[in-house]
Structure 1
């Protein structure tokens, strides 16, 4: 069947093609109600679908952006995506979401695919290992914003959490509750900035409270090895009394392990997670969390990118927009007794 064109709609509705175009672009300022109704009915009758590709070529814009997340399983990622989609929807922009699985090869393929589809810009939670392609996009003045991570000296605007503060809040809360043997578990993803920042914040909080740093209490593990690492921690001659889980996926692995070993929280082991989880309030006991303002971070990233796209200029080269975390205190971090569960 021959595709229905804008000219067909204009002919049947007895209006000009420019009037149909104005209707499709919602420019109704000088359009009568009868005309609008006639065009609407004609579009419905002919089942007309605008040619998006042709419109994109004419306007030199696809009104589409790409979002590449490092790991879509993180609660943080889904909240950031939601915020980006909300802001883009308000500006009639579409969003294509890609999951890189923290894999630089996948990330590169997605960047190339999105550019081939001529998306107007990208928001990337970068793996950090595609510096050449990041620099290439920057040199071309291609609209791009980083989220959650910075990459070396590349002057691309970044929207991030104050990661040192996130760990500091958790450690300080433990210390204020009488804990001194405090461990931290982060995950292995090369040398990304959130992990470095959280470990640095952990160490600085201990030093500021004149508590010596025990390197045995610091674990940097793949997600699949978190439970084994926690077992090793609790088997130490002087095991930690409290644990900072470096992100939501690590927290879930910690909770799986303590449940399987009948370790009581917080009596045997106090726990604080960085990143919220959906069940934090109704888990028993309720979980103390260091929350990221994930929605606000995603919103800011979308606003920056749309500014670059619509204003055709970079918004604050090398600018870093840093958001502060918030400690939400619940039962999992309270001091109860002095016993620590030891694994045989």
Structure 2
């Protein structure tokens, strides 16, 4: 079948091609209601589909944003992507989401692919190691925003939780409830992933602040596949921890599975606080005390800054923007 063109729509609606173009680009200022209705009817009757590639080349804009997630398994990631997608949709931008699975090589491939598709900007949850790639985007003045992780060698606006304040809230709650032997378990810190490192540092600082002993054996950053082995080692201690902070939702699930398999009662045998207020926290028995991130505000801010960079706003943010956490007190500690 012959492809329906803009000229066909113009002929059917009895208007010029430039009027159809103005309609498609939502420039209605000098367009009458009846003209709009004729164009809408012509598009519907002919089944016209705009050539988005041609339009993006002509306008130098694809109205498409790429989002690269370090690991989409985290509920935090999926929830903040929803916010970003909604915010950008309101501004008539489309979103392509890619999952790097904490793999720097995969992340780089996705960056190359999205650039080839001429996306207008990128929001990245960085794996942290592709420093040269990030800096090259900066040199080209390509619109870029980081979420959840900052990369010290790269000057990019970054949306983050105030991780040290978050851990201070957790340790303060454990101390208030009388726990003395406390620890934290998070994912591997081998690549110096910012939130993991900061949460461990924040945990230690808070222990000092509240006069709690720092037991290095109870402070671990390990790969997900080694969580069970690590927990077994921790609980073989002469005096095992009374409470653990889970550095994120995936770690929380590993701790809960270990507690179930070893018949540890929560909170009688082990108190738990988790960073990220995951959806099952309130319905788990007992309900899990969590440290909540303001996900909606963070996602909206990331979208806002990226759009400011795309339109060339001079005073667009360049720094790390940290959002405060909130304690959601429940029954697990």
Whether the TM-score (by the shorter chain) exceeds 0.5 is: yes
Q: Over aligned residue pairs, what C-alpha RMSD do you find? A: 1.2
Q: Distance in 2 between matches of 1:116 and 1:313?
A: 26
1:56-108: per-residue Cα shift (whole Å, max 9, x none)?
11110001110001100101101110111111111100101000011100011
Report the Cα offset of residue 293 of structure 1: 1.1
Q: Which residue is 1:210 aligned to?
A: 211
1:247-268: per-residue Cα shift (whole Å, max 9, x none)?
0000011111111222110011
TM-score norm. by structure 2 comes to 0.97
In structure 1, runs of 5+ residues without a counterpart are: 334-344
Q: Which range moves more in the overlay, 303-312 or 116-125?
A: 303-312
Q: Distance in 2 between matches of 1:292 and 1:225?
A: 26
Q: Which residue is 2:96 aligned to?
A: 96
Q: Which residue is 1:59 aligned to?
A: 59
Matches within 5 A, 1:260-271: 260-271=261-272
Q: Distance in 1 between matches of 2:57 and 2:322?
A: 37
Report the Cα offset of residue 121 of structure 1: 0.7
Say how many residue pairs are matched: 332
The yes-or-no answer on 1:12 pairing with 2:12 is yes
Q: Which residue is 1:332 aligned to?
A: 332
Corresponding residue SS for 2:272:
strand
Matches within 5 A, 1:292-303: 292-303=293-304
Matches within 5 A, 1:1-344: 1-189=1-189, 190-311=191-312, 313=314, 315-317=316-318, 319-333=319-333
Q: Distance in 1 between matches of 2:106 and 2:201?
A: 29
The answer to whether the Cα contact below 8 Å between 2:75 and 2:249 also exists between their aligned partners in 1 is yes
Q: Distance in 1 between matches of 2:22 and 2:186?
A: 54
Q: Distance in 2 between matches of 1:100 and 1:172?
A: 35
In structure 2, runs of 5+ residues without a counterpart are: none
The answer to whether the Cα contact below 8 Å between 1:82 and 1:295 also exists between their aligned partners in 2 is no
Corresponding residue SS for 2:332:
helix
Q: Distance in 2 between matches of 1:82 and 1:111?
A: 20
Q: Distance in 2 between matches of 1:152 and 1:296?
A: 24
TM-score norm. by structure 1 comes to 0.94
